[in-house]
Amino acid sequence: MEKRLTRSELIFSLSFIFMLVVAVGAFFYGAKIGAEKTEAKYVEQAKHLTGAEAKPGSYPQQDLVSFYHTVFLPYREFQSEWYKTMEKMKAGQLTEPASALKELSSLAKQKYAQAQAASIAGSSPLLQQAQVEILKGLKLLGDAASRGAVSSKDVATDKLLVALKKDSYYKEGVDQIMSGQLDYYQSMLRWSNTVNKKIPATYELSAILGINQWKTLPLTIKNKLMAEHMKARMLLTSYYPQDLVSAVDEYILSGEAAKMKMKSVDAVVDLLVNANAVRYGDFLNSKAKVYAQETIPQLPFFYPEDN
């Protein structure tokens, strides 16, 4: 005959089972919490490594590189074709200007679509602004080319070129494009400040820039200043701001500025631009000699193609 448990033994057994269940539950709950904390830790580390946690306005190099390939390069490809077409028109080498202008209008739409598809990180608001400005510029220049194609039937080529540059769409388009370029170079200046605190994050002129002061400036500031000059002069050209920087530096280093008794950088820029003395690639030709120690981001247009 089986021995029946006493009341106290029954209570003890039930209490033991309850405590065992609670202990097992606590163990698995603790394991779950620990796993979640560990996962969160590695997610945060991954964000840090990928730049996902970059502070607004920090302008990490990866943002500058991404912008170059997705927005700036499509714009530059359009600008290159625009410049070539305008030069051919100037030289009287276009037999069908209307057709060439229609092609430019079509190319503007193509490059607009490419640049519009780019996603710009919120950590780089200047780049976001530059994208909008470049998109507006491409749209306006494409419209200007389309308008020029229509009017080309009744206008001589040389007069068509003058009319194009007076077109309100063209003027506003160049202004937007140059604003976008300037914001891109300002972003590089912000980046250089994060790498080298001796370089200011911003630089604004309060007076005419003297040659002696210019000589003391870091390259990223010089680039930004020349981007401003290009915007002010509406220079939709084949060369970059850094090419203009190099041309100015070479002219000063050669002693020609001193011979001409020039005191300001503005005077040098005016001389070089008016004489058409700036060329695409001037910076790369001078880089090793003049800019080897400068702080610049790893962007393709700052380095020879074979690097």
Q: Give the CA distances from residue 110 to residues 64, 90, 100, 104, 114, in Å, rounded to whole numbers and listed in that order.
A: 22, 25, 15, 10, 7
Render pLDDT for 240-281 as a digit per residue (tens, 0 to 9). 999 999 999 999 999 999 999 999 999 999 999 999 999 999
pLDDT for position 153: 80
Count CB-CB contacts under 10 A for residue 116.
16
What's the whole-number mean pLDDT along residues 75-98?
A: 93
The answer to whether residue 3 scores a pLDDT higher than 70 is no
pLDDT for position 7: 59
Per-residue pLDDT band at 8 (split at 50, 70, 90) = low
Per-residue pLDDT band at 28 (split at 50, 70, 90) = very low
Pairwise CA distance, residues 38 & 16, whole Å? 33
Detail the DSSP E strand segments found in 30-83.
none
In terms of Cβ atoms closer than 10 Å to its own Cβ (0-12, 13-18, 19+), residue 117 is exposed
Render pLDDT for 131-172 as a digit per residue (tens, 0 to 9). 999 999 999 999 999 999 998 887 888 889 999 999 999 999
In terms of Cβ atoms closer than 10 Å to its own Cβ (0-12, 13-18, 19+), residue 200 is middle
Per-residue pLDDT band at 239 (split at 50, 70, 90) = very high
Give the length of the chain: 307
- Residue 210 forms beta bridges with which residues? 264
Pairwise CA distance, residues 219 & 246, whole Å? 10
User: Which token pair is 37?
Assistant: 């904390």
Render pLDDT for 170-194 as a digit per residue (tens, 0 to 9). 999 999 999 999 999 999 999 999 9
Return mean pLDDT, the chain.
86
Query: What residue ranges do the domains of the chain occupy?
Result: 57-202, 207-307
Lowest mean pLDDT among 13-17, 121-125, 192-196, 242-246: 13-17
Per-residue pLDDT band at 17 (split at 50, 70, 90) = low
Render pLDDT for 207-218 as a digit per residue (tens, 0 to 9). 899 999 999 999
pLDDT for position 147: 94
pLDDT for position 49: 34
Detail the DSSP E strand segments found in 154-213.
none
pLDDT for position 151: 86
The answer to whether residue 237 scores a pLDDT higher than 90 is yes
CB 134 within 8 A of CB 180: yes
Helix (DSSP H) and strand (DSSP E) numbers for the chain: 13, 0
Q: Give the CA distances from residue 300 to residues 69, 73, 117, in Å, rounded to whole numbers and listed in that order.
A: 9, 10, 21
Lowest mean pLDDT among 58-62, 77-81, 129-133, 249-253: 58-62
Q: The domain 57-202: what is its CATH number? A: 1.20.120
The candidate with the shortest Cα–Cα distance to 196, out of 214, 213, 218, is: 218
Residue 299 makes CB contacts below 8 A (sequence gap 6+) with 64, 65, 68, 188
Per-residue pLDDT band at 41 (split at 50, 70, 90) = very low
Q: Of the segments 27-31, 127-131, 155-159, which one has the largest average pLDDT value?
A: 127-131
The whole-model pTM stands at 0.81
The answer to whether residue 52 scores a pLDDT higher than 60 is no
